[in-house]
Structure 1
Amino acid sequence: MATGRTHRPATRSRGIPEATVARLPLYLRALTALSERSVPTVSSEELAAAAGVNSAKLRKDFSYLGSYGTRGVGYDVEYLVYQISRELGLTQDWPVVIVGIGNLGAALANYGGFASRGFRVAALIDADPAMAGKPVAGIPVQHTDDLERIIRDNGVSIGVIATPAGAAQQVCDRLVGAGVTSILNFAPTVLNVPDGVDVRKVDLSIELQILAFHEQRKAGEEAAADAGVAAAAARKESAEQGPDGDVPAVMPA
């Protein structure tokens, strides 16, 4: 079976923009759900809504893949699943190592979505000697002393860092030195890597802070709306009163 070390996705060489690449997994997730329901075709509007983008952007993204829907019919779901999977490099086996088997690392190891999406957890690695040999998700944890050998023996090019922040850069340096060229970083720190190494950072605290910003903005908008309603009510009440604030007498018919 092919490994990630010898086969790289063709997206960059084909000139597909990074923004489009970032949306391809969204389309694939929506298409996979349609495929599981045996839906044969889908319109750009329906697929865009399922993926959370607008249909014009979707059609533009698919044009980079050389995929154009049939007017009045839409896109062939199974073909698009294959086409996007191929562009993302998911039609081959990608061995992955996870370094740092604490609560987060163990949760990642137990995640069932890796295998169905073209990724195989080749090894779990931790610096705690007490963890060595213990099975997590059916895989025995190995010590960091063997990190370079593990990467070499399994042909690993993708590493996941789930260590505390203080250990992340050292782990990153060792991964890169051993030949890893793509890193998914869950540690709450910025990693410095050489050219040619791709890093994707997942920071849950940042995502929560962004949500807090939106909640604060919504609360401010609601408060402003309430104030506007109160002001309008006050103006209406003032207009219905006389010049001295008294309700004007009703003139006889």
Structure 2
Amino acid sequence: MATGRTHRPATRSRGIPEATVARLPLYLRALTALSERSVPTVSSEELAAAAGVNSAKLRKDFSYLGSYGTRGVGYDVEYLVYQISRELGLTQDWPVVIVGIGNLGAALANYGGFASRGFRVAALIDADPEMAGKQVAGITVQHSDEMERIISDNGVSIGVITTPPGVAQQVCDRLVAAGVTSILNFAPTVLSVPDGVDVRKVDLSIELQILAFHEQRKAGEEAANALPDGAVPASVTRKESADKGPDGDVPAVMPA
């Protein structure tokens, strides 16, 4: 099987828009679920609903793959799984190193979904001497002093950073200097990389903050819907009172 360092996905992928590339894993996840249920074909509407996009966008995305389906039949599930997997480079073997084997790094190492999607955790690296030699997910943790050798020996082109933010850039620089050209960054910091190096950032705190925003908005909508017709929320009446002068008049000049 080919390794990630010597083989890249088909050059045709360069003509696929980034937005489409970002949706391909969603389609693949939905298609894989259908395949596991032995569903032979799927319509664009059914697949779009399962992936959370509209069917017109799905058909446009698939046109970049050269797949148009069959009128009245839909798309062949197994062939689409193969097509998308090939475009994403998942028909190859991609060795990955994880740097920073704390709770998050160990959890990622134990994640069983990597191997089934074309990724092999080739090495676990940590700067703590006490971690070196320990087994995590059946893999021996190696010290960061060996990082460059590990990357070279295993032909690694993808690195995962799960270190504290203060050392993430230093780790990133070493990974890039050693030949890593794609980085998945879990550290809560922005990394600076040279041209030709791709970085994907996963910030769990930002995702939680976005969810908190939606929860707050839903709570506000529920409170507003619970009011009798014509009633004004207390927060609005309090604001109106605060805007009025001592005698209840609205000031001629509103404060900045």
Q: TM-score, normalised by structure 1?
A: 0.88
Separation in structure 2 between the aligned mates of residue 184 and residue 58 of structure 1, nearest angstrom: 26
C-alpha change, 1:53 and 1:237, in structure 2 (3 Å) is: closer
The alignment partner of 1:249 has SS state of coil
C-alpha change, 1:236 and 1:68, in structure 2 (3 Å) is: same
Q: For the Cα contact (< 8 Å) 1:132–1:140, is it kept in 2?
A: yes
The alignment partner of 1:227 has SS state of coil
Separation in structure 1 between the aligned mates of residue 207 and residue 44 of structure 2, nearest angstrom: 29
Which has the higher mean CA deviation after the structures are superposed, 93-102 or 10-19? 10-19
Separation in structure 1 between the aligned mates of residue 180 and residue 255 of structure 2, nearest angstrom: 92
User: Residue in 1 aligned with 2:111?
Assistant: 111
Gaps of 5+ in 2: none
C-alpha change, 1:232 and 1:163, in structure 2 (3 Å) is: closer
Give 1 or 2 for the bigger CA radius of gyration: 1
Q: For the Cα contact (< 8 Å) 1:99–1:126, is it kept in 2?
A: yes
Instruction: State the superposition RMSD in angstroms.
Output: 8.2
Quote how far apart the aligned CAs of 1:71 are.
Answer: 0.7
Q: For the Cα contact (< 8 Å) 1:96–1:156, is it kept in 2?
A: yes
The alignment partner of 1:252 has SS state of coil
Q: For the Cα contact (< 8 Å) 1:97–1:158, is it kept in 2?
A: yes
C-alpha change, 1:133 and 1:58, in structure 2 (3 Å) is: same
Separation in structure 2 between the aligned mates of residue 22 and residue 43 of structure 1, nearest angstrom: 21
The alignment partner of 2:95 has SS state of strand
Q: For the Cα contact (< 8 Å) 1:11–1:87, is it kept in 2?
A: no
Separation in structure 2 between the aligned mates of residue 227 and residue 173 of structure 1, nearest angstrom: 61
C-alpha change, 1:138 and 1:223, in structure 2 (3 Å) is: same
Q: For the Cα contact (< 8 Å) 1:184–1:201, is it kept in 2?
A: yes
Separation in structure 2 between the aligned mates of residue 157 and residue 245 of structure 1, nearest angstrom: 69
C-alpha change, 1:76 and 1:194, in structure 2 (3 Å) is: same
Q: Deviations over 1:76-133 (max 9, x none)?
A: 0000000000000000100000000000000000000000000000000000000111
User: Residue in 2 aligned with 1:12?
Assistant: 12
Quote how far apart the aligned CAs of 1:2 are.
Answer: 1.1
Q: For the Cα contact (< 8 Å) 1:181–1:196, is it kept in 2?
A: yes
Q: Deviations over 1:119-152 (max 9, x none)?
A: 0000000000001110000000000000000000
Quote how far apart the aligned CAs of 1:232 are.
Answer: 18
Instruction: Quote the sequence identity (%).
Output: 92
From 227, 245, 253, the equivalent of 1:242 is 245
Q: For the Cα contact (< 8 Å) 1:99–1:124, is it kept in 2?
A: yes
Q: For the Cα contact (< 8 Å) 1:11–1:88, is it kept in 2?
A: no
C-alpha change, 1:146 and 1:74, in structure 2 (3 Å) is: same
Quote how far apart the aligned CAs of 1:246 are.
Answer: 31
C-alpha change, 1:66 and 1:214, in structure 2 (3 Å) is: same
Separation in structure 1 between the aligned mates of residue 144 and residue 246 of structure 2, nearest angstrom: 84
User: Residue in 2 aligned with 1:189?
Assistant: 189
C-alpha change, 1:247 and 1:171, in structure 2 (3 Å) is: closer
Separation in structure 1 between the aligned mates of residue 253 and residue 179 of structure 2, nearest angstrom: 90
The alignment partner of 2:169 has SS state of helix
Separation in structure 1 between the aligned mates of residue 112 and residue 156 of structure 2, nearest angstrom: 19
The alignment partner of 1:6 has SS state of coil
Q: Which runs of 4+ in 1 moved over 4 A?
A: 226-253
Quote how far apart the aligned CAs of 1:216 are.
Answer: 1.4
Separation in structure 2 between the aligned mates of residue 191 and residue 240 of structure 1, nearest angstrom: 45
C-alpha change, 1:244 and 1:102, in structure 2 (3 Å) is: closer
Quote how far apart the aligned CAs of 1:220 are.
Answer: 2.0
C-alpha change, 1:236 and 1:39, in structure 2 (3 Å) is: same
Separation in structure 1 between the aligned mates of residue 66 and residue 172 of structure 2, nearest angstrom: 37
Q: TM-score, normalised by structure 2?
A: 0.87
